[in-house]
Amino acid sequence: MRSNLTSLDWVELGRSIAKLAGARLISTAVAIVVGSWLPCHAAELAIHPLGEFTFIDVSGDFEKGDASLFAERTANVPKAIVALRSDGGSLLAGISIGETIRSRGFATLVPANSRCASACALAWLGGTPRFMAASAQVGFHAAYDSSSGNETGVGNAILGAYVNKLGLSYSAVIYITQASPASMTWLSAEDAKKNDIEVKLLEPSKTSSALAPSQADPSHSPSSLRAKVSEFVRLLFTVWSGPNDKVAAVLPRLYGAHVLFYGRDLSDNEVVADKMKSINRWPQRLYKMREGSLTVECNEAVGSCKASGIVDWMVRSPARNAQGSGSSSFEYTFEMRDGPLRITAEGGSVISRLPTTAIR
């Protein structure tokens, strides 16, 4: 179903968005939570009625079950704009949320200084129309298998069918899936026009009066190396949470020839051996990077980046009838010289840890 809102409706909605930007919203946020044996940060949804319109704020990682709850919570909303801020998550959740947005004629928005990448960007595509602040970032990459981190043809087929269903061109399908799972294609005004992806860019100085198209400020474009490292770290914890055989297959490709590993100078083979001891001791693992904790600083001149943040984790060993959980800081140094990213230093420390207990 196409949106039945007039141009005057959208101008009025633009004024409402401006009010939101200048005032602190007070509303009960409805957390979308799915069952898991690891406390995690699933997508959160807050609904703010604004007279004739409703402002729907969606943030956090997209997970299985989020799509049905989004559909349920917005079932009686007639006119809305959905603001999206997320680094991604479940492909199917992002597509399903996008389909709900499209079927109800909702608009979508990536607010100023916000990022909507991966599955989030797919949900954003469902908007009619799509809004994007000049300082916002919208990123796409190919679908991947969360257990291995490898690109998946089936996932790309589903993604392509969805994009085509939205009425976008084959050029758009190719553009959206061209980046590898460990990389990102960041949408620019020029690329959007070239690939027939309709976007209304919000002019920062005129948001209060209209939704005027403008060219995105190049100074806000993310560093390509920084973007790659950010995605690499996110995928790293996804892989680390997978089956042992998948982790074992990927580990040798993650590290440089020599690694400063928690203060010790080790070869890549020694690091892999140390990691294998850990995964064999705890064959069931879930690692979740804490929302908003990731910091990446890069020196593109030498192809080096440092990434740090916090990860929440839970580990299990059915054979030993044991489990544990906690939170840790992490620090990685990445280098990319004439080849793929490699970890050349790794460190961190435990922030909190619950005593190891028997599996119940």
Domains and CATH numbers, the chain: 7-220 (3.90.226.10), 224-357 (3.10.450.50)
Give the global pTM.
Answer: 0.52
Q: What is the DSSP letter of 203?
A: P
Average pLDDT of every residue of the chain: 78
Q: How many CB atoms lie within 10 A of CB 75?
A: 9
pLDDT tens-place string over residues 120-154: 999 999 999 999 888 889 999 888 766 666 777 88
Pull the structure tokens for residue 22: 């200048």
Say what the pLDDT of residue 60 is: 84
d(CA 263, CA 256): 16
**Cα 66 to Cα 1, 45, 174, 220, distances in angstroms:** 22, 9, 27, 30
Say what the pLDDT of residue 198 is: 92
Strand-pair partners of 56 = 47, 82
Cis peptide before 129 (omega within 30 of 0): yes
Residue 222 has pLDDT above 70, yes or no: no
Candidates 140, 145, 201, 202; CA nearest to 172 is 140
